[in-house]
């Protein structure tokens, strides 16, 4: 598995994400700076949570136009796996790799708690390893997690099975309680919850592990 | 040349901040209040050969960064 995590100015979950990925993948995960213009040979690029550029203009808007993103868009169009968590999800929508947008939580509050989620599809390289497990719990920590998409867009997401995760008790006003979406080709996933914060038994929750195991199996085959 | 770009949420996209402002105004007793909308203003100074070129440039700025077409609309006003 050749994987990398991108650090933007203001990212703050980049190290946690690398540690979680390394523990599941069993190999080192590269750290990439947002200013780089070339990607090494990779199977997976992950965009971490945080507050890139202080959320100026719109959350993720400035990061989505940083030099490395042009390369990541090309990488995704060639079929490379791209994962965006929290601010990473916001960046992926701003970069046009995922449909919809993320706006201020309906209740206006920053939300930091563990929530119940439904794994809405296991037909993806990010969710296959959840298997029969359809109800998981993951932490959220965001101010702009309210997923917005118009009716036509929502119908397309539902028709193509692109909704990866839904909140069981919608905390932020997201359209159709959407917590995570796939692109049409299913090689890009963005989600607001933090699987990397639920990937170590010492922290009391490992519901994030199957997401990373899915990616490992997608790249190396099941049983890896 | 100077320009003023106004960016607002599309109708139908809930703006919780505007809703909170509206609630606060009602609490202050402005009974006739009918609604509150919020917009972002960005002022830009640029060099251009004429208003058409300036407007094309400003539109490109909006499309590529300043506005998110999924949730926002924009209006450009050339000031001088």
Contacts of A1 (CB under 8 A, 6+ apart): A25, A26, A27, A43, A44, A215, A216, A219, A220
Q: For residue A16, what are the CA distances in angstroms to A22, A91, A188?
A: 10, 18, 20
DSSP state of B49: S
Instruction: Give chain B's contact residues with A (Cβ, < 8 Å).
Output: 9, 12-17, 20, 64-66, 68, 70-71
Query: Do the chains contact at A148 and B68, CB–CB below 8 Å?
Result: no
> Containing H/E element for B2?
strand B2-9
Of B15, B20, B68, the CB nearest to A58: B68
The residue of chain B nearest to residue A150, with distances taken between CA atoms, is B70
Structure token pair of residue A132: 């029969």
Q: Can you give the pLDDT at residue A69?
A: 95
Q: Is there a contact between A45 and A71 (Cβ–Cβ < 8 Å)?
A: no
Q: pLDDT value at position A134?
A: 92
Catalytic residue flag (residue A142): no
The one-digit pLDDT tens for each residue of chain B (80 residues) are: 999 999 999 988 888 889 999 999 999 999 899 999 999 999 999 999 999 999 999 999 999 999 999 999 999 999 97
Q: Give the pairing of strands A178-182 and A30-33.
A: unpaired
For chain B, domains (ranges, CATH) are 2-78 (3.30.1280.10)
Rounded to the nearest angstrom, the minimum Cα separation between B45 and chain A is 18
DSSP state at residue B10: P
**Which burial class, exposed, middle or buried, applies to A13 when counting CB atoms under 10 A from its CB (0-12, 13-18, 19+)?**
buried
Residue B54 per-residue DSSP state:
H
Answer yes or no: A86 catalytic: yes
The active-site residue out of A34, A94, A142, A194 is A194
How confident is the model at residue A223, as a pLDDT? 60
Over chain A (224 residues), the average pLDDT of each successive run of 10 is 96 97 97 91 97 92 94 97 98 97 93 97 97 95 96 96 98 97 98 97 95 96 66
What's the CATH architecture for A3-220? 3-Layer(aba) Sandwich (3.40)
Q: What pLDDT is attached to residue B11?
A: 87
ipTM of this model? 0.84
């Amino acid at each position: 598995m050749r994987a990398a995590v991108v650090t933007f100015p203001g990212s703050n979950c980049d190290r946690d994400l690398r540690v979680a990925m390394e523990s599941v993948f069993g190999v080192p995960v590269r750290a990439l700076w947002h200013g780089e213009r070339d990607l090494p040979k990779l199977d997976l690029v992950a965009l971490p949570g945080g507050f890139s550029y202080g959320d100026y203009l719109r959350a993720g808007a400035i990061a989505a136009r940083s030099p490395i993103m042009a390369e990541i868009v090309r990488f995704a169009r060639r079929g490379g796996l791209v994962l965006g968590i929290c601010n990473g999800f916001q960046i992926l929508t701003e970069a046009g790799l995922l449909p919809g947008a993320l706006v201020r939580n309906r209740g206006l509050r920053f939300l930091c708690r563990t929530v119940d989620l439904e794994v809405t599809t296991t037909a993806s390289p990010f969710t296959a390893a959840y298997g029969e497990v359809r109800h998981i719990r993951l932490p959220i920590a965001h101010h702009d997690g309210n997923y917005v998409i118009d009716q036509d867009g929502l119908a397309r997401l539902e028709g193509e099975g692109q909704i990866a995760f839904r909140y069981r008790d919608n905390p932020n006003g997201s359209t159709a309680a959407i917590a995570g979406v796939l692109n049409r080709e299913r090689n890009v996933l963005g989600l607001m919850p933090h699987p990397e914060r639920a990937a170590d038994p010492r922290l009391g929750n490992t519901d994030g592990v199957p997401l990373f195991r899915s990616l490992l199996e997608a790249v190396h085959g099941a049983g890896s | 040349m100077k320009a003023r770009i106004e960016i607002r949420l599309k109708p139908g996209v809930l703006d919780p901040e505007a809703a909170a402002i509206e609630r606060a105004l009602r609490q202050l007793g402005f009974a006739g209040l009918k609604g509150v909308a919020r917009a972002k203003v960005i002022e830009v100074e640029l060099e251009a050969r004429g208003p058409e070129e300036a407007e094309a440039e400003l539109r490109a700025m909006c499309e590529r960064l300043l506005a998110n077409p999924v949730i926002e609309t924009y209006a450009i006003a050339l000031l001088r």
